[in-house]
Amino acid sequence: MSQSHPSQSLSHALSRLDALTNWERKPRGEMRVGLEPMLDLMQRLGNPHRSFRAIHVAGTKGKGSVSALIEAGLLHAGWKVGRYTSPHVDHVNERVSVLGREVEDDALAIAIMQVLDSYESAKQAATAGEDATWFDVITAAAFVVFYNAGLNWVVVEVGLGGRLDSTNVVFGEVAVVTNIGLEHTEILGSTREAIAREKVGILKPGAMLVTTLAADDAAGRVVQQRADELGCKVYRTDLPVDATIADTNLALVGLVFDHLGRQGESVLQGGAQGQPIGAQLLEPEVIEKARLPGRMERFDYVLPSALQSGRKAVPMVMDGAHVPFNIEAVLRDITRSNTVSGDCVAIVALASDKDAPGFIEVLSHYVSYAVFTEASGSGRAHAAQDMAALGRSMGLACEAEPEPHKALERAVSAVAETGGWLLVTGSLYLVGALRGSILGNNA
């Protein structure tokens, strides 16, 4: 069965779910005030979130990749592991991973229907669960799936922020804060310190914190202060400032595994059976297994025959980076990698709550030509024309094409002339909008 065409039972469950408010599509400007709706659902469902041990991952960027690496490493060690992530690129099943595979349609459908039944009961009883959002329900459904699968560990990625995120009903024995940048400022706060306070809200007494944030960093001080208040130990990466995104993620996950080993967790299978879990789990096959769609994802894009003059394909990278410090790191890593050469032609979409001037400023230093488009997945997109005007004001050669597939055509025409490479960035929704047709083009 093709995952792009969900089963009838999952389609029915998703139709019922979509009648609920989708937090990811909600106008940004007010934040939920508490976790009571989620806690009410959990209680009605028999508290499935307490059936597994959890590692909780927050941060501005890198959450998904770090979560996938932790999952892959623990699976390699022989543990029964799940992973919850958001948003999805192609289909909703991506959000719920069981034993290294996307959840089956029917298992997800059963869980969603069970949660929606609890939601309806809460509405009838007028308890807190009646205010549950779309994201609350899909999160609760994931926890039901993990309970039904009898998992040992679940890696839980925060959706937005941390303190008031739907996922924060779990007790993460290890809490990870990957980094802090300015994002969702109208909800989380307008400074890195304010955002750090929200993200470190996942840390709980008895847990341990892993982070890249230095003790003398403004956000790092906030995180350390909260850890001190709770009596939690903090482990920090020790990397050069120009460390790659991949090296940074591996260092974070290595600290998580080393801690678990010190706590007495051991490898359950293979030649290392009985040995403590540690960073040595991060073997090449584990790293490869943890690769995610839309995160530094590399293709060779086959050019239309009319545009083929000496070469049949051009390199393409898809990355959902949407904050300035992350697109800077992505472009720095790509250009240092020797996997691409020549001028970069970028296809860019940004949601309206993202820092368009900061993002485009970074692009202007790396990109020779940009096609701005619109694909936020929420109706909250920066207008392509506005971004193009911003780009031109910064000296960036660019154009606007609101329709993503037409924007791709324009960018392909431009790269065929320049002989360079293509970048799709600014939004995982844009990646999702284009990825299927790109894979089909290359088939």
- For the stretch 290-302, pLDDT in tens is 999 889 999 999 8
Contact between residue 23 and residue 165 where contact means Cβ atoms under 8 Å apart: no
The residue assigned the tokens 């958001």 is 86
pLDDT at 132 over 50: yes
Selection from 140-149, 326-335, 428-437 with the highest mean pLDDT: 140-149
**Cβ 70 vs Cβ 155: under 8 Å:** yes
- The pLDDT, as a whole number, for residue 21 is 57
Across the range 88-100, mean pLDDT stands at 93
CB atoms within 10 A of CB 263: 12
Report pLDDT for 416.
86
What pLDDT score does 5 carry?
60
Q: Are 93 and 353 in contact (CB under 8 A)?
A: no
Predicted confidence at residue 325, as pLDDT, reads: 86
What mean pLDDT do residues 73-97 have? 95
Q: Provide the pLDDT confidence category of residue 19 given band limits of 50, 70 and 90.
A: confident
**What pLDDT does 90 receive?**
85
Residue 53 has a pLDDT of 98
Amino acid sitting at position 93 = N
pLDDT bin (cut points 50, 70, 90) of residue 190 is: low
What is the Cα–Cα distance from 229 to 407, expressed in whole angstroms? 50
Mean local confidence (pLDDT), 262-271: 93
pLDDT of residue 437: 84
Residues of the chain above pLDDT 90, percent: 72
Architecture of domain 8-289: 3-Layer(aba) Sandwich (3.40)
| pLDDT at residue 28 is higher than 50 | no
Mean pLDDT confidence for 276-290 = 96
Cα distance between residue 146 and residue 111, in whole Å: 10
Check residue 1 and give its pLDDT.
28
Predicted pLDDT of residue 352: 86
Between the CA of residue 362 and those of 44, 167, 222, 386, 404, what are the distances in Å? Answer: 48, 32, 27, 17, 21
**pLDDT at position 308 over 80:** no
On the question of a common fold for 8-289 and 297-442, the answer reads no
* Backbone angles phi and psi of 424, in degrees to 5: -110, 120
Q: What is the pLDDT of residue 3?
A: 42
Question: Out of 88-92, 99-103, 208-212, 251-255, which region has the weakest mean confidence (pLDDT)?
Answer: 88-92
* Residue with more model confidence, 28 or 273: 273
How is the chain split into domains, by residue range? 8-289, 297-442
Average pLDDT, the chain: 90
β-bridge pairing 172-177 and 208-211: parallel
pLDDT of 266: 96
Most trustworthy range by pLDDT among 225-239, 333-347, 427-441: 225-239
pLDDT digits (tens, 9 = 90+) for 32-56: 568 999 999 999 999 999 999 999 9
pTM: 0.90
Q: What is the mean pLDDT of residues 187-214?
A: 89
CATH of the domain spanning 297-442: 3.90.190.20
Interval 402-426 mean pLDDT: 93
Please determine, for residue 142, whether its predicted confidence score (pLDDT) is greater than 50.
yes
Cβ atoms of residues 56 and 174 within 8 Å: yes
